[in-house]
Amino acid sequence: MQVFQYPEKSAWPELLQRPVLDTTALETSVGNILADVKQNGDAAVRKYAQQFDKVQLQQLEVTPAEFSKAAASLDPELKKAILQAKHNIEVFHKAQQESSRIIETMPGVQCWRKAVAIEKVGLYIPGGSAPLFSTILMLGIPAMIAGCKEIVLCTPSNAAGEVHPAVLFTAEQIGLERVFKIGGVQAIGAMAYGTETVPRVHKIFGPGNQYVTCAKQLVNKDGVAIDMPAGPSEVAVLADDTCVPAFVAADLLSQAEHGPDSQVLLVTTAESIIEPVQKEVAAQLEQLPRKDIAARALENSRIILVRDNQEAMELLNAYAPEHLIVACVDDISIADAVVNAGSVFLGNYSPESAGDYASGTNHTLPTNGYATAYSGVSLDSFLKKITFQRLSQEGLQQIGATIETMAAAEGLDAHKQAVTIRLNYKAKK
């Protein structure tokens, strides 16, 4: 990791640049696959499963027998861990439920807002080198709590047409019954446009590689909502001389192992910790099965020495990290200065892995600087908030002149007339 000491503020934008991913070259090929799925449905899905995943899919949907087999084959300790994580995530997301309140803005004018679940949602769970069954908890649990009527899950199978048992066990535990053995761009297309087998949905959630990300962006242009813009995973650590260098190194590597395009950042007020952290990173890196991937990610990563916590937080808010770890003696007070971050981990004993798996918060978070304007997935992500109003005759008389004056000033006479005709109305006896 490159070290930068006391950089001038003018150098921050260049210093905080993410690895650039140019998706324009992908758009043509991804767009062609989406168009094929839109037109040819299941046949196109099967064709691309054969081409990309080397699997001949006779049946696209997972059967009850496959769910049963997965549950029977999974390690009991993993089952126990999944159920503990499920409990914590449910507790945190149920607490996000809000009751509707009627607000009387003036006599006779009542306004309120009601939360309504998005009826049909699609969840994408990547397979590849690591089946992300934890993401099923993060997406499926709030979808179920919200009350979405139809929840579709797509995830790639292996070459034998089997879905990882942890994926199926997790889906079954939270009540997801419709799981399809479809991965990649074709899965996004199937959920966006619908096929003979896969239902069309209104909003698509879930992480994926650059092809999946590009597909989500393209179907979004076609009118299908998506959870958020997403890029490679990232973490920033703010540490002072009270941190444990081995912990900091482990946190940096936990994100670096995601992929070669991931980025990790260490910001510190203590020059004395830089060398110990670097030594720990080098030592721990050698022990990782995914060390080649992590090493490539570290090439995009930086250590930045700053003068004080105020400067550190100004720099970190400019970076807007997906994950922010504050390993400092005054972590609670520093937390008040956080403006832009996806999820924050405070103190030496709050690894980012806790939020990734089991603490209860959601791990589907804005990356690539989008934390300046986007939140992570929550219960609200699966809800629409619809506003209502009810005016009594007295209420319209109270507010009518205000509406008439404003409508007339905007030159919208029909708007004014909709009020005037009511104010002048005499009910027939």
Indicate the SS3 state at residue 215: helix
First-to-last C-alpha distance (Å) of the chain: 85
Is 314 annotated to bind a ligand? Reply is: no
Catalytic position from the list 66, 93, 172, 323? 323
Is 424 annotated to bind a ligand? Reply is: no
- Give the residue among 313, 103, 318, 344 at the shortest CA–CA distance from 235: 344
| Active-site residue, 14 included | no
| Active-site residue, 322 included | yes
Tokens 């005016």 belong to residue: 391
CA distance 60 to 43: 11
Catalytic position from the list 322, 352, 394, 404? 322
Is 410 annotated to bind a ligand? Reply is: yes
The pair of three-digit structure tokens given for residue 337, joined into one six-digit string: 């200065």
17: which DSSP letter?
P
**Dihedral angle of Cα 204, 361, 298, 214, to the nearest 10 degrees:** 10
- Is residue 383 within 8 Å of 118, Cβ to Cβ? yes
- Crossing angle for the helix pair 413-423 and 393-409, nearest 10 degrees? 150
Is 286 annotated to bind a ligand? Reply is: no
HSE-CB at 262 with a 13 A cutoff on CA atoms is 24
Is 356 annotated to bind a ligand? Reply is: yes
Is 158 annotated to bind a ligand? Reply is: no
Is 124 annotated to bind a ligand? Reply is: yes
CA distance 167 to 173: 10
Is 209 annotated to bind a ligand? Reply is: yes
Indicate the SS3 state at residue 116: strand
Tokens 């009627």 belong to residue: 102
CA distance 100 to 409: 34
Binding-site annotation: residue ranges for Zn(2+): 255, 258, 356, 415
Binding-site annotation: residue ranges: 124, 186, 209, 233, 255, 258, 323, 356, 410, 415
Binding-site annotation: residue ranges for substrate: 233, 255, 258, 323, 356, 410, 415
Binding-site annotation: residue ranges for NAD(+): 124, 186, 209
Positions annotated as catalytic residues are: 322-323
